[in-house]
Amino acid sequence: MVTNINLASPESESKPKLTGKTTLVLSISLLVVTVVVYLALNFVSTRYAGQKTKIENQIAQETAKIGGAEFSDIADFQVRLDTLKKITDEHVRLDLFLRDFSKFVLPEVRVGSLAWEYEKNSLSVSGSTPNFDVLTREIILLKSSPLVQSVEFNGGDAGSEAGQNNVTFSLSIKIAKEKYNK
Amino acid sequence: MVKKIIGVRVVILPLSLGIVVIMSILFIKPLLFQVLDYRGSIEEGKKQLSDLEVQYQKLSQLKSEWQSMEEKKIIEVALPQDESVENFLTETYQRAARSGVIMSNFSAKSGTADSLCSAAGGAAGTATAESPSSGVSVGDASPDSADFQNTAGAAGSAASCTASVPTQVSFSGNWDQVLNFLKYSTDSNRIANLKSLTISPKGRSSGGVESSGEQAPSDVLSVVVTLEAYYQPKSGTSSPAAIKALASEAGFSENVLKKVQEIVYAPYEPPLVSETGERNIFK
């Protein structure tokens, strides 16, 4: 019968010494650390909340200062400029257009009335020509004009009376808007 | 005694660990997130505040520039705060006289420029109905005429929309004078847009057919134009969109100022009749 005896390290020395006191201290320390962390976070949170409110108030003050009466004059000026931009976009130099348009009216053609409307972008022209040949040439000339988008011939009538210009006509012309929005 | 020590060791440590875990989950974790959230908000707020301070500086600078701007007066006249029909009549009458045409009628009534409702710094104007609240009618087209009837009442248009004063002007003159008037009326100090035009030789019906047979063409033309002048009441508060635009962009819209100046200060150009093929198409 062989008996082994461990002489190097006795069993009682290798076990950790976790006594009741150590456990209690450890537990209390853990709780204290947790509570300290909580309190620290709470303190930081309260401080940050105060800072946040302060900054929010400052932002509100600055915003009120900027949007208030102090700068209402320049804001109004800018609004007026924005409006004027839209107005000037619709600004028409009709004198230049009519001058250009007259180049596309044959000398034999006499315009009796001319009506222009911006919204409809149309020009209604009626007048008289000596004969249908001139009227045809006039329509072709107008159709070739860069000022004109389309020409609609509404009718021509050769009157019974003899005269220099006895063919009356009526035309509806669509204008290329960019030509008079100079 | 031994049992008591073993009991303390077995119960207290797990219990305290449990309490720590529960405290961490229930209190510390939400608090930590709250702190992080506050920190983020504070950083963002500081940045916003700094931007606002920069904007304030920029707006202060713009205001001092604006106070010494010469264009301020031009804009005030080009787009006044009220209808000022009498000023528009005076200007139109002067321009008619300068171009040589004889003005026979001037009538105006207030309305709302529908197409310009959204232009007022992004203001959400919705009024589209024409307001008959005010009107001006001049029989013999003289600003100091006894026939001048200004029935202007309250400004009937929504403040957020640009209001217009559609004006009909009748006059007569020869071809060159008519062209001159059209040029002058589009170059007026108070910017007005031409909306319609009717020209016919005087003594003719609107259809252009001569009343009795073949007559010598008349030099005198009858013209009716519809001009739309605009006004915009001043707003008591700053438009946030305008303030934002001013603070973010490089100040006032220089291109608009330039364009308005080009219109108002347009040099006089005499009509180039016949030299390049233009002619009186009514002759």
Instruction: Give the pLDDT score at B154.
Output: 33
User: How does pLDDT run across B36-49, given as a tens digit for each residue?
Assistant: 999 999 999 999 99
Lowest mean pLDDT among A164-178, B86-100, B156-170, B269-283: B269-283
Find which of B21, B34, B281 to mutate to test the A interface (most A CBs within 10 Å of its CB): B281
pLDDT of residue B130: 37
- H or E element that contains A44: helix A20-67
Q: How far apart are CA A120 and CA B181, in angstroms?
A: 23
ipTM of this complex prediction, to 2 decimal places: 0.71
The band of A163, judged by pLDDT with boundaries at 50, 70 and 90, is: low
What percentage of chain A reaches a pLDDT higher than 90?
Answer: 34
Alpha-carbon gap, residue A105 to A147, rounded angstroms: 12
pLDDT for B132 equals 38
pLDDT tens-digit map of A49-95? 999 999 999 999 998 888 888 888 888 888 888 899 899 888 888 88
CA–CA gap between residue B262 and residue B32 (Å, rounded):
63
CB contact under 8 A, B207 and A94: no
pLDDT average, residue stretch A125-144: 91
Domain residues for the domain of B40 are 1-68
Q: How far apart are CA B162 and CA A85, in angstroms?
A: 12
Q: Copy the structure tokens of residue B233.
A: 């009441």
Say which of A44, A59, A103 has its CB closest to residue B35.
Answer: A44
Any A CB within 8 A of B77 CB: no
pLDDT at B47: 95
What whole-number distance in Å separates Cα of residue A74 and Cα of residue B144? 35
The pLDDT, as a whole number, for residue B2 is 56
* CB neighbour list of residue B238: distance below 8 Å, 6 or more residues apart: A66, A67, A68, A69, A71, A72, A75, A76
Q: Searching chain B, which residue's CA lies closest to the CA of residue A36?
A: B28
Q: Which of A67-81, A158-172, B199-213, B247-261 bottoms out in mean pLDDT, i.e. has the lowest?
A: B199-213
B111 and B21 within one domain: no
Degrees, nearest 5: CA angle B14-B17-B23: 140
pLDDT over threshold 50, residue B152: no
- Given a contact cutoff of 8 angstroms between Cβ atoms, the answer to whether A99 and B278 are in contact is yes
Mean pLDDT over each residue of chain B, to the nearest integer: 76
Q: Is A68 exposed, middle or buried (0-12, 13-18, 19+ CB in 10 A)?
A: exposed
Distances (CA, A) of B199 to A127, A168, B175: 12, 17, 10
Residues on chain B touching A78 (C-beta within 8 angstroms): 121, 239, 242, 245-246, 252-253
B272: in domain: no
Our CA-based measurement puts residue A151 at a distance from the nearest CA of chain B, in whole angstroms, of 18
B7 and B81 co-located in one domain:
no
Question: How many Cβ atoms from other residues are within 10 Å of residue B186's Cβ?
Answer: 22
Comparing CB atoms, the residue among B213, B214, B246 nearest residue A74 is: B246
Chain B residues in contact with A135 by the CB 8 A cut-off are none
Over 50: is that where the pLDDT of B129 sits?
Answer: no
| B66 has pLDDT over 70 | yes
Which residue type occupies B89? L
Give the mean model confidence (pLDDT) for residues B223-230. Answer: 93
- Do you know the residue count of chain B? 283
Mean pLDDT value across residues B61-75? 87
Q: Which residues of A touch B209 (CB under 8 A)?
A: 112, 126, 128, 168
Which one of B45, B68, B91 terminates a domain?
Answer: B68
In a domain, B278, yes or no: no
| Domain end call among B39, B68, B97 | B68
Answer whether residue A164 shows pLDDT above 80: no
B244, burial (CB in 10 Å: exposed 0-12, middle 13-18, buried 19+): middle
pLDDT of A115 higher than 50: yes
**pLDDT band (50, 70, 90) for residue B156:** very low
C-alpha span between B156 and B190 (Å, rounded): 20
**What is the DSSP secondary structure assignment for residue B220, as one 8-state letter?**
-
Lowest mean pLDDT among A141-150, B144-153, B237-246, B258-267: B144-153
Element (H, E) at A84: helix A72-89
**Number of domains making up chain B:** 2
Q: What pLDDT sits at residue B168?
A: 94
Number of DSSP helices (H) and strands (E) in chain A, helices first? 5, 4
A6-10, A174-178, B124-128, B216-220, range with the lowest pLDDT: B124-128
For B160, the token pair is 């957020």
Smallest CA–CA distance, residue B186 to chain A, in Å, is 7
Asked whether residue B137 is domain-assigned, the answer is yes
Same domain membership, residue B224 and residue B179:
yes
Domain harbouring B227, CATH code:
3.30.70.60
Would residue B269 count as lying in a domain?
no
Our CA-based measurement puts residue A4 at a distance from the nearest CA of chain B, in whole angstroms, of: 30
In a shared domain, residues B31 and B99 = no
CB contact under 8 A, B52 and A27: no
Helices and strands in chain B, H and E counts: 7, 7
- Res. A179: pLDDT tops 80: no
- Averaged pLDDT, A38-44: 95
The residue behind tokens 């700068």 is A71
Among B13, B42, B68, the domain boundary falls at B68
Q: Residue B276 falls within a domain, yes or no?
A: no
B137 lies in the same domain as B194:
yes
In degrees to the nearest 10, what's the CA dihedral of B13, B19, B21, B26? 180
Residue A129 structure tokens: 């020509």
Selected for mutation to probe chain A from B197, B212, B280, B283 (highest A CB count within 10 Å) is: B197
Spatial distance between the Cα atoms of A82 and A72, rounded to a whole number of angstroms: 15
Q: How much of chain B, in percent, has pLDDT values that exceed 70?
A: 68
Reported as a pLDDT band with limits 50, 70 and 90, residue B8 is low
Which tokens hold the place of A78?
A: 């800018």
How far apart CA A37 and CA A5 sit, in angstroms, is 51
User: Roughly what angle, to the nearest 10 degrees, separates helices A72-89 and B71-78?
Assistant: 60
**What value does the CA radius of gyration of chain B take, rounded to a whole number of Å?**
35
Which residues, in sequence order, are bridge partners of residue B103?
B171
The pLDDT value recorded for residue B252 is 81
- In this predicted structure, the answer to whether residue B223 has a pLDDT above a threshold of 70 is yes
